[in-house]
Structure 1
Amino acid sequence: MNFVDSTVQLDESVKVGHFSVIEKGAKIGKNVVIGNRVTIHEDTVIGDNSTISDGAVLGKPPKPAKTSTVKLSDNIPALTLGEDVTVGVNAVIYRGAEIGSSTLIADLASVRENVQIADYVIVGRGVTVENHVSIGTRTKIQSNSYITAYTTLEDHVFIAPCVTTTNDNFMGRTEERFDKIKGAIVKKGARVGGASIILPGITVAEETFVAAGALVTKDTEEKTVIKGVPAKYSKQVDERELL
């Protein structure tokens, strides 16, 4: 048995599984498939031809811990999903996120509030996208990577599995840190290899290739390969690999 609030806009072509909840004000487009045990919170908008897999939670209202540094505005906009979006099993997407068309949010992924994800993006299995993140068109983030708050990933960026981005050089100590929290900026076409770590505020330049396991401690130059701990220049990216 499902619960669908009387105010929900639900096209007759929508298919809803068992034991799902759709709260008031939600707008569900045409030919949407909603699995079992799905929760769609208040005012969430889902575009045509999207698929919401079993156990997903959409539009979850953010509620930081009492000790959290996150500050929320009084009016967080509803979650919006574009057309042809796929949301995986047990994925959680918060209210205040905006997901572009033809994007995949895979199984067990988490996308926080104040996040903008463009069209044709892949957010892989188990990926965490924290608040105040921007992700550009056709970017791919592979399984179990961590995209910290205040990070920007531009168009056509590739993030391999288990990449970690960071944003706080003080790691939670001293009041000074509040004005200096900043995630990475990964520019168009850059590629970041598996299990790499990017330190706070680093700019990874266009078409940079970060080798697997690198520790990126300073800004990179365009079209260069960097590797090591700490990461250093290795060579230029082969012209055949450029966008």
Structure 2
Amino acid sequence: MIHKKAWIHESAIVDDDCEVGAGTRIWHFCHLISGCQIGKDCSLGQNVMVAKGVVLGNNVKVQNNVSLYEGLFCDDDVFIGPSAVFTNVTNPRSAVSRKHEYKKTILKKGVTVGANATVLCGVEVGEYAFIGAGAVVTQNVLPYSLVVGIPARHAGWMSEHGHRLRFRPDGIAVCPETKNEYRFFCGKVVKIVDKNE
């Protein structure tokens, strides 16, 4: 079902049985395949393909030239940069059908995937993690973690507003934009104060 308050460019192809939420904008030359689900207030840039079974939450932004293959789940507020790459099979062969072997890839709330990054299938990227441009993600990523490189490796921690967190000796860091506080404990980061609540 296409919500009446969604906007779809005339060059886009939307197959039957797609769900598109209110306020979502689908731009030039996109293709939505039957069985995909797109939440409200999303934006799909030029030349985005969304396959059967893909689920995008609310306020997901997908930039130009991205193919979202079956098995991908994006929670709310995910950002996917231009020409990012996703997979759903670990050992593809043209002559071997592996459609029954698709693996799930999960992007949790607030994740950023940088331009030209590659996320291999079967991984979970934790809340508000930040994947740097051009990185190749081959394993799970912790919440709030910044990962860069090939293969992607942990390089620091990020706030929910996308700022690098600098932890004091007491294990506390403050987001420079929001003043929200974060704690580093046992190898993980959690937000402990929300100044907006």
The normalised TM-score by structure 2 is 0.78
Letter in 2 for 1:91: A
Structure 1 residue 82 displacement after superposition: 0.6
Question: 1:106-156 deviations in whole A, cap 9, x for unaligned?
Answer: 110111111111110111111111111000000100111111112101100
Distance in 2 (CA, whole Å) between partners of 1:114 and 1:195 is 26
Q: Which has the higher contact order (CA 8 A, sep 6+)?
A: 2
User: Residue 23 of structure 2 aligns with which residue?
Assistant: 102
Q: Secondary structure at the match of 2:29?
A: coil
User: Residue 107 of structure 2 aligns with which residue?
Assistant: 186
CA contact (8 A) 2:110 2:160 kept: no
Distance in 2 (CA, whole Å) between partners of 1:228 and 1:89 is 38
Q: Does 1:93 align with 2:17?
A: no
Distance in 2 (CA, whole Å) between partners of 1:199 and 1:117 is 22
- Larger mean CA deviation between 165-174 and 194-203 belongs to 165-174
Q: 2:156 aligns with which of 215, 225, 235?
A: 235
Structure 1 residue 241 displacement after superposition: 3.1
Which segments of structure 1 move beyond 2 Å, counting only runs of 4 or more? 172-175, 177-180, 238-243
Q: Secondary structure at the match of 2:19?
A: strand
Structure 2 unaligned spans of 5+: 164-193
Q: 1:165 aligns with which of 59, 81, 86?
A: 86
Q: Secondary structure at the match of 2:134?
A: coil
User: Residue 34 of structure 1 aligns with which residue?
Assistant: none
CA contact (8 A) 1:148 1:183 kept: no
User: Residue 48 of structure 2 aligns with which residue?
Assistant: 127
Structural mapping, 1:41-120, within 5 Å: 80-120=1-41
Cα–Cα, structure 1 residues 92 and 218, in superposed 2: closer, same or farther, change >3 Å?
same
Which entry has the higher C-alpha Rg, 1 or 2?
1
CA contact (8 A) 1:126 1:143 kept: yes
Structure 1 unaligned spans of 5+: 1-79
Q: Does 1:149 align with 2:92?
A: no
Distance in 2 (CA, whole Å) between partners of 1:187 and 1:143 is 21
CA contact (8 A) 1:168 1:180 kept: yes
CA contact (8 A) 1:92 1:111 kept: yes
User: Residue 139 of structure 1 aligns with which residue?
Assistant: 60
The normalised TM-score by structure 1 is 0.64
